[in-house]
Structure 1
Amino acid sequence: MIKTTRRLQDSGLVASFQNSCGLFAIDGGERISRTDPYRYNKTNHNAAPENTGYKYQECFNGCKNRNSRPKYVVKNYFLYYLFRVGAALGQEVFYISFLPCTHWNLDPFLCRRLVNMWAVVMYIGQVSKDVLKWPRPYSPPVVKLETRVDAEYGMPSTHAMAATSIFFTLLLSTKDRYQYPFELGLMAASLLSTLVCLSRLYTGMHTVLDVVCGALISAVLMTVTFPLWDTFDHLQLTSPLSPIVAVVLPFLLSYFYPRLDHYSTTRGDTTIILGAGAGCSVGYWANYQLGETYEPEGGFPIPIPAPTLDMAVYSFARFLVGILSLVITRQVVKSLSLRVLCFWLKVSTKDAEARQRVEIEVPSKFVTYFAIGFTNTVLVHKAFIFLGLF
């Protein structure tokens, strides 16, 4: 068992997968020691890689250029772009487009289920990373195609966790609500989850063990919580305590996130997720109290309507208006919250180190993304009605 675990955690196994997919490292790039890997941190290009538990030393070839990346050659561009797209399915750009679009153009019920599971799974995954503190694959032999999250720990893969939870939550939430072949949905969920998981190996960001554990943890969480989904949904919409719990609990979980001896982006990312989830939860509660759930009516399961040109135009228009609303909300609330907090604590808004302090970063990001979640679920629909798009 121990031998198998070590094998699955081996960076060489990741490199072998990359080679089999036509991605090869070539000489001339930055050399990174297997016992002393340099971790690139986007927030501080000159920061030492403290979160790996290692200290920076010279590269194998004696270079000290911290901004260069290992060079590589791509011999299979189909797989290159396929896995890059797969990796994007687990990134912020996917969350801020797919989840709101599900609410605006499909079914708010589905979005509610997706956001709830996404927030739970991502919080557990992010905390696990900073508790276990297992490093990412070493380069060389692995080629790293991403930089931002390279400064974080690797176990478990939150991409694998999020993909598994989102696609299978969507499957389980639609099987009794819409008429479609369940086998087809199961195949689609499995293929998309597998694509995201394999993309984490292809991009060199996780070991096989990271990915397998991420998918398994997500599967266990879904299995345990699935019988409670309907009960939680009812309490979330009807309980007078729902908005209080939805705000206080996520904020406390963000503020008392496990502390490290250095700055890590995981706390901020987790706060963003919990803040957005809290905003959506309060928004859904408010919509239910106002009798404006915007959900399909009729006996379930209902047939999926055939797409038409008018439907596509209205959906695209709603998407543009919605995304624009979220972007404006983010910019306004982020600026105001930072100014208020920095004024209160008597620090400059341009002080990057001060903005990383927990008493500034957590409230600012939580309030900003709470506003985004609330705008997504409540205010955007008001705009749709005003513009005649709903």
Structure 2
Amino acid sequence: MAELLWSLQDSQLVARFQRCCGLFPASDEGPRESSAGPSEGETPALGVGHLPCANGKGGGGPPNGLRRDAAPQAYVQRYVVKNYFYYYLFRFSAALGQEVFYITFLPFTHWNIDPYLSRRLVIIWVLVMYVGQVTKDILKWPRPSSPPVVKLEKRVIAEFGMPSTHAMAATAISFTLLLSSMDRYQYPFVWGLVMAVLFSTLVCLSRLYTGMHTVLDVLGGLLITALLIGLTYPTWTFLDRLDSASPLFPVCVLVVPFFLCYNYPVSDYYSPTRADTTTILAAGAGVTVGFWINHFFQLVSKPTDSLPVIQNIPSLTTGMLVLGLTKFAVGILLILVVRQLVQNLSLQVLYSWFKVVTRNKEARQRLEIEVPYKFVTYTSVGICATTFVPMLHRFLGLP
């Protein structure tokens, strides 16, 4: 068993997958100043690109001989793309696993599809992401080494590899949506299962193609997610009713996530993991408080005890599409305004409290500043998305 696990963690296995999909390292011509390449949104001339990595020869992550808790350095790696179908397919699939996709997809689901589904999706997404992020910083397993692996992303290079939170999020979202909707809507279950498997598979394979994870990282993420869904599934109905349990419920929802963020595992160098985790937990707390506000102040009609089954999912029409996009645009605009205002205000207060020079970007990474400002900002975003945006929609006559 140990030998099998070791082989699944081998960077050569990832490199072979990349070569089979037409992604090859270019000849070593030394580092360059610019890191713009296909990973930055440009198509390279003659199929060649380059981006930061952790040594002078290959991509990011702790290279051979480097301590696994040491911060990666910025260098440049060149690569050759020989199959652009796989390149664009997996780059698009990788984007579907980014937090920004879920932070837009979940509000869209709430405003245009079903608040019931969005509530469950948010709860499971937050749980899975927190467990995955903390596990990374406890295990501190390095990402695939480069060479031989080509790495196409630079923002997460400073993070550790095990487990793949992209794989966890994609699997959690797709299968939670499937399990939550099958008793509420009538549709061919097989097609829903196929879509869930296809979505999670594409995101998982994209983590190998981009060189960000080993096979063991991806499989570990899938197994942890399956375990979490299996353990929590019997409690989903109970969790749906927690938002009306007590007037003190919002206090618990805010205090516990903030405590978890402030006591996040300490790393020997700065990485975006703590900031991303705080953003996710804060957004989840804000959404949950927003649902409580809606119930406590009776801003929405009280849900029935038995969930209605819609016989047929309505066909998508041009009018529905335009209405959905309009509601989404209005909601995102209000969220962006709230986010910017709350972020600026919270930073100003914290800078003044800790006597930090304004606009000091490095100060934002300090624990006592980063966690409070992100938590307050994204809690406000979550409350705005679930409470004030629907109120604005009704005010504007957008059903």
Under a length normalisation based on structure 1, what TM-score does the superposition of the two structures give? Answer: 0.91
Aligned to 1:24: 24
Deviation at 1:139, TM superposition (A): 1.0
Deviation at 1:40, TM superposition (A): 7.4
Q: Equivalent residues in 2 for 1:179-258 (5 A)? A: 179-258=186-265
Deviation at 1:293, TM superposition (A): 3.7
Aligned to 1:366: 375
Aligned to 2:276: 269
Q: Which SS does the other structure have where 2:24 is aligned?
A: strand
Deviation string 1:268-315 (CA, Å, 9 cap, x unpaired) is 110000000000000001111233347998962102111122111110
**Is 2:334 the partner of 1:318?**
no
Q: Which SS does the other structure have where 2:241 is aligned?
A: helix
Pair 1:368–1:23, CA change in 2 (3 A):
same
Identity %: 56
Aligned to 1:173: 180
Deviation at 1:244, TM superposition (A): 1.1
Q: Is the 8 A contact 2:55 2:75 kept in 1?
A: no
Distance 1:182 1:292 in 2: 33
Deviation at 1:33, TM superposition (A): 7.9
Q: Which one of 317, 331, 337 corresponds to residue 308 of structure 1? A: 317
Aligned to 1:60: none
Q: Is the 8 A contact 1:108 1:294 kept in 2?
A: no
Deviation string 1:173-206 (CA, Å, 9 cap, x unpaired) is 0000001011110110011001100000000000
Distance 1:364 1:19 in 2: 43
Aligned to 2:143: 136
**Is 2:346 the partner of 1:337?**
yes
Aligned to 2:397: 388
Q: Report the AA paired with residue 300 of structure 1.
A: P
Q: Which one of 90, 93, 104 corresponds to residue 100 of structure 2? A: 93
**Is 2:69 the partner of 1:53?**
yes
Q: CA RMSD in A?
A: 2.4
Q: Report the AA paired with residue 357 of structure 2.
A: S
Pair 1:55–1:169, CA change in 2 (3 A):
closer
Please identify, of 277-286 and 240-249, the stretch whose mean Cα deviation from structure 2 is larger: 240-249
Tell me how many residue pairs correspond in the alignment: 374
Distance 1:119 1:274 in 2: 6
Pair 1:54–1:97, CA change in 2 (3 A):
closer
Deviation at 1:77, TM superposition (A): 1.1
Please identify, of 95-104 and 230-239, the stretch whose mean Cα deviation from structure 2 is larger: 230-239
Aligned to 1:159: 166
Pair 1:179–1:38, CA change in 2 (3 A):
closer
Pair 1:34–1:132, CA change in 2 (3 A):
farther
Q: Is the 8 A contact 1:129 1:155 kept in 2?
A: yes
Name structure 1 gaps, 5 residues minimum: 42-48, 57-65
Q: Which one of 317, 336, 339 corresponds to residue 327 of structure 1? A: 336
**Is 2:267 the partner of 1:260?**
yes
Deviation at 1:235, TM superposition (A): 1.5
Deviation string 1:145-182 (CA, Å, 9 cap, x unpaired) is 10000111000000011111000000000000001011
Distance 1:107 1:183 in 2: 21
Please identify, of 169-178 and 28-37, the stretch whose mean Cα deviation from structure 2 is larger: 28-37
Deviation at 1:92, TM superposition (A): 2.4
Q: Equivalent residues in 2 for 1:44-123 (5 A)? A: 52-54=68-70, 67-123=74-130
Distance 1:293 1:267 in 2: 35
Q: Which SS does the other structure have where 1:252 is aligned?
A: helix
Q: Is the 8 A contact 2:129 2:169 kept in 1?
A: yes
Name structure 2 gaps, 5 residues minimum: 32-52
